[in-house]
Amino acid sequence: MLNDKSGKSGGYAADVEIRSFDIFGVHEFTPKSFPDHRGLFAAPFQEAAFVEAVGHPLRLGQTNHSVSARGVIRGVHFADVPPGQAKYVYCPRGSMVDVVVDVRVGSPTFGRWVAVRLDSAEYRALYVAEGLGHSFVALEDDTVMSYLCSTPFTPSAEHGISPLDPELGLPWAEHLDGEPVLSDKDRAAPTLAAAADAGLLPDYDACLRRYAELRAAA
């Protein structure tokens, strides 16, 4: 599978720089920071910038908060579409490499991925549309991930593929100096090919219909 590290500037909205990627449904938001003698202020999520990039407001069904030790990998996770679960994520403490994998069967970028560093220096955020796989590795202890999720967690609709799938070649090794730490569930997750054979992966056309429904409802 091929890595997709290409990105293109999408412009500015308010105090946020927007970047989109060749994988449809992935957007990066870098807010302007305002440091002074008291500390620092930044707004990682700004609705005007989000709507400019995505075409509809962010639906909020749940917020998540995780704390990870250095070397912890979480994911690759995705949800059934419809309705799917989109995520808007940023790192308020520590640093991580966030990886988005296109697991949508029929997508022109199926099996490709993008990797973006998220940290508490720039407060960069990443939007992961419904149907895409999400994962990250913590680069230091006590790294915090903050998630804004479009739908609540639904165990029966949640799935994963192995972050160690050799065919995907996700970039963990270049950021780790030891063995990664995974949950039992993530370590036992199927490869992308096995998940496709089992019919677990989202359908690209179904995802496109879902995105259109969200834009029409805006």
* Gyration radius from the chain CA atoms: 17
Of the candidates 137, 119, 118, which has an alpha carbon nearest to the alpha carbon of residue 127? Answer: 118
CA atoms within 13 A on the CB side of 153: 8
Q: Which of 65, 90, 147, 211 is catalytic?
A: 147
**Total H helices, total E strands in the chain:** 4, 14
27, 56, 77, 204: the active-site residue:
77
Active site residue 123: no
176 neighbors 116 (Cβ within 8 angstroms): no
Q: Is 147 a catalytic residue?
A: yes
Alpha helices in 26-82 (DSSP H): 47-54
Tell me which residues are annotated as active site: 77, 147
